[in-house]
Every structure is written in C-alpha cells, then in structure tokens.
Amino acid sequence: MRALITGITGQDGSYLTELLLAHGYEVHGLVRRTSTLERSRLQHLYADPDLYNRRLFLHYCDLEDTTTLRRILLRVAPDELYHFAGQSHVGLSFEIAESTVESIAMGTLRLLEILRDLAAPPRLFHAASSEVFGRPLQVPQTELTPMAPVNPYGAAKAFAAQMVRIYREKHGLFLVNGFLYNHESPRRGENFVTRKICRAAAAIHLGQQDQLTLGDTSAQRDWGDARDYVRGMWLSLRHETPGDYVFATGRLHSVQQFVEAAFAVVGLDWRQYLRRDERLLRGQEPAQLVGDASLAEQVLGWKPERDLSSLVRWMVEADLAELAKRPLRR
Ligand code: GDD
C-alpha cells in the first residue's frame, strides 16, 4: 500500500506516518518549501537511512501549485491520500482570514478537482474539524448535526467538508470527512492551549519560567490523544464504503481543569502561576463542542483508548524531558 500525506510535518502527519510505516506502507509526504525538516516532528524518521528514500519519501509542493500537485499524484499513484495541510490555528484565523480560507477551502477544492480527473483516484481522508459545528443546535454533535461555524477557520473547514460530500456524490469518489475534535500530544504546536499549559508546568517546575498566561480558562473542549485519532483516520479508509465520521471522546473538560491536571503532575499549586491576558480572548467562542463517535465505533470499531489524565501526564513528562535537554534559560 502506498499513501500520500499533505501536511506530513504536523502532529497528525507524523503520527500517521509512524502508523502507516508500521503497517508496511510506503509513505509519501508533501512538504512546503518553507518547512524545516531539521528538528521537525519527522526528524527521527527522516534521519533513518533504512526509511528515508526507501519507504518514506518527501516532495516539495505548496497546495496552490496545482501543476506540481497533479504531477506528484500521477507519479506516486497513492492508494490513500490523507489531507491535513492548511492554517490550523482558530484564533489566528481572525487575523489572517484570507490566507486561512485560501489554504483550507481552496486548497481542498483544488485537490478534489485533480482527483476527479485521475484514472485511478486514491481514497481521500479529509481532516475536517469540530469547529464546523461552532454553536451547535445539538449536544453532543454527530455527523448529521448542521454546521454553524463561528470563525473563519470553521467556515473554511465547513466549505471543504461540504465539497468533499458533493464530490463524493457527484463523482463517485471514495472520500471521507473526519470531524476531528481536539486531539493532543507532545508534538502539538506550542501556541495551542494544551501544549502551552504542559510546557509551562514543566518549565516552571524546572525553574525556567515564572508564570503561565492564558485567555479564557472557562472554555471547554473534548480533548483526546492524537495517536487514537490517526488510527481512526486509517480505519476509515480501510472500510468498504466511504462516509463521514465524528472522532471524539464524548467528554468535555475546561481549560481550567486541564491546567489543574498539568500542574498536579509536577506537584505545583497553579494559583501561584496562572495569569489572565484579555488579548488572548477570542470573543467568538464555540459552545459545547463535544462529539458523539458512536458511528465510528459501530462501523469502524473505533474507540479512543487513552483518557485525559494519561494524556496530560504524557505531555508534561515529555516537556520535562525536552526542557531538561534544551532549557529555556539557565
Ligand atoms: N491557543 C490558546 N492559547 N487557546 C487558549 C488560550 C491561550 O493562551 N487561553 C485559553 N484558550 C482557549 C481557546 O480560547 C479555546 O477555547 C481553547 O483554549 C482551545 O484552544 P486551542 O488549543 O487553540 O484549540 P482550538 O480548539 O481552538 O482548535 C484546535 O482544535 C480544533 C478541533 O480539533 C485546532 O487544532 C484546530 O485546528 C482543530 O480543528
């Protein structure tokens, strides 16, 4: 089996690459010209001479470069295509709305347009998001919950997910939408709240940082473990028929609860270190984003295997190890 991954250098791209390699796949990834592979999430695979350019291949390609994209798809001829690329920070999407929509909405549409012309199109997994539900009419949300996004990121993902549905019906392509709720790991970018919190707890414990500044700590999310989610994506493309799936834990926790759990791992009292900064408030927060993944369980046999407390411990311990090797300051 051969897979192609857009956004391979991200959190999900790197875990999925590991999973696919472990299942004997040949894995190809698209890398932006500006991506640095040194010390990236793929470094350990990229640096392995038994893997790199043998079973793992990287191709430079920006998603707006449709000629190159088409050429790579024709040359690689993947069986499966996992589409993760695009601006992924919700808060930032208010600041850089046009490029967010360009990369997510138009980026996905361009890919679909290429797929419909291929003689043997690959199966596609599209990483849609819980953010498409915004202020939902239904709690928890399912695949049938109407989309009601409240930020440019969610609106762009809603467009892309709907296009995936349209192309699946109109052109008979094997296309899957995964409505992914927040999923985290030590490879999460440092400007997402869970990693920011875990890194701060570790750094404060090691005497490398004094405080943690956050926006809205009453905000709630359905947080899972990224390794569970990439397994769900893979299962969704192995199934006989394409469809849409919610991938979620079904449990809501607040940012505040996450802070308390992370500081408990290092035995610190969060009250002494937590500060609030109004500039980190988003104004437009989604409400009650919590997913019902029963369809994924029934059809794919997928269930999250790890809970929030093991996730928090894993992330804080990884940051402790990382900061011990490369301190923020002496
Ligand atoms: N990033 C950030 N930084 N968020 C903060 C902070 C802060 O200092 N303080 C509070 N928050 C709150 C945000 O307002 C939001 O309500 C919540 O923490 C989670 O924010 P993020 O971690 O940035 O994630 P997100 O939920 O907005 O988006 C992530 O999950 C989506 C669903 O899976 C991203 O990964 C999206 O790409 C993804 O689609």
Rounded-to-integer distance, Cα 174 and Cα 187, Å:
30
Two structure tokens written together for 251: 């449990």
What does the DSSP 8-state code read for residue 102? I
Whether the predicted pLDDT of 181 surpasses 70: yes
| Residue 299 maps to a domain | no
| Residue 135 maps to a domain | yes
Predicted local confidence at residue 283, as pLDDT? 80
Same domain, 141 and 269: no
| Residue 154 maps to a domain | yes
Of 32-46, 137-151, 187-201, 310-324, the least confident: 32-46
Rounded-to-integer distance, Cα 135 and Cα 149, Å:
7
Closest alpha carbon to 234 in 94, 143, 155, 125: 125
Q: How much distance in Å is there from the Cα of 12 to the middle of ligand 1? A: 16
Q: Calculate mean pLDDT across residues 190-197.
A: 96
Two structure tokens written together for 83: 């589409």
CATH number reported for the structural domain that contains residue 148 in this entry? 3.40.50.720
Whether the predicted pLDDT of 39 surpasses 80: no
Q: Calculate mean pLDDT across residues 235-248.
A: 98
CATH number reported for the structural domain that contains residue 212 in this entry? 3.90.25.10
Positive or negative, the CA dihedral 125, 83, 118, 234 is negative
Q: How much distance in Å is there from the Cα of 159 to the middle of ligand 1? A: 20
On whether the CB atoms of residues 29 and 51 are closer than 8 A, the answer is: no
Q: Calculate mean pLDDT across residues 302-316.
A: 97
User: For this structure, is 129 an active site residue?
Assistant: yes
The pLDDT-based confidence of 33 (bands split at 50, 70, 90) is confident
Predicted local confidence at residue 38, as pLDDT? 62
Rounded-to-integer distance, Cα 169 and Cα 284, Å:
33
Same domain, 203 and 83: no
Rounded-to-integer distance, Cα 194 and Cα 255, Å:
8
Whether the predicted pLDDT of 330 surpasses 60: no
Question: Domain range holding 281?
Answer: 193-221+253-286+308-323
Same domain, 57 and 84: yes
| Residue 328 maps to a domain | no
Same domain, 68 and 122: yes
Predicted local confidence at residue 282, as pLDDT? 85
For the stretch 62-83, pLDDT in tens is 999 999 999 999 999 999 999 9
Q: Looking up tokens 């440019």, which residue turns up?
A: 152
| Ligand 1 mutation pick, 133, 221, 277, max ligand atoms within 8 A of CB | 221
The pLDDT-based confidence of 162 (bands split at 50, 70, 90) is very high
DSSP string, 132-151: GTSS-SSSSB-TTSPP---S
Single-letter residue type at 187: R
Same domain, 67 and 164: yes
Rounded-to-integer distance, Cα 99 and Cα 281, Å:
21
Rounded-to-integer distance, Cα 117 and Cα 131, Å:
30
Predicted local confidence at residue 302, as pLDDT? 98
Rounded-to-integer distance, Cα 246 and Cα 219, Å:
21
Please name the residue whose Cα sits nearest to atom 36 of ligand 1: 88
Closest alpha carbon to 226 in 271, 272, 195: 195
Predicted local confidence at residue 286, as pLDDT? 80
Q: Looking up tokens 């109109």, which residue turns up?
A: 170
| Residue 296 maps to a domain | no
Evaluate: CB of 161 within 6 angstroms of ligand 1: no
Query: CA gyration radius for the chain?
Result: 20
Evaluate: CB of 91 within 6 angstroms of ligand 1: yes
For the stretch 110-134, pLDDT in tens is 999 999 999 999 999 999 999 999 9
Two structure tokens written together for 81: 């295509």
On whether the CB atoms of residues 222 and 189 are closer than 8 A, the answer is: no
Predicted local confidence at residue 232, as pLDDT? 98
Predicted local confidence at residue 92, as pLDDT? 95
Whether the predicted pLDDT of 26 surpasses 70: yes
Whether the predicted pLDDT of 184 surpasses 90: yes
Whether the predicted pLDDT of 211 surpasses 70: yes
On whether the CB atoms of residues 150 and 135 are closer than 8 A, the answer is: yes
Which residue(s) pair with 124 in the sheet? 81, 175
Single-letter residue type at 301: G
Predicted local confidence at residue 36, as pLDDT? 72
Please name the residue whose Cα sits nearest to atom 33 of ligand 1: 182
On whether the CB atoms of residues 145 and 174 are closer than 8 A, the answer is: no
Rounded-to-integer distance, Cα 190 and Cα 94, Å:
19
User: What integer best gives the mean pLDDT of the chain?
Assistant: 96
Predicted local confidence at residue 40, as pLDDT? 82
Evaluate: CB of 175 within 6 angstroms of ligand 1: no
Q: How much distance in Å is there from the Cα of 131 to the middle of ligand 1? A: 10
Two structure tokens written together for 254: 């607040």
User: For this structure, is 15 an active site residue?
Assistant: no
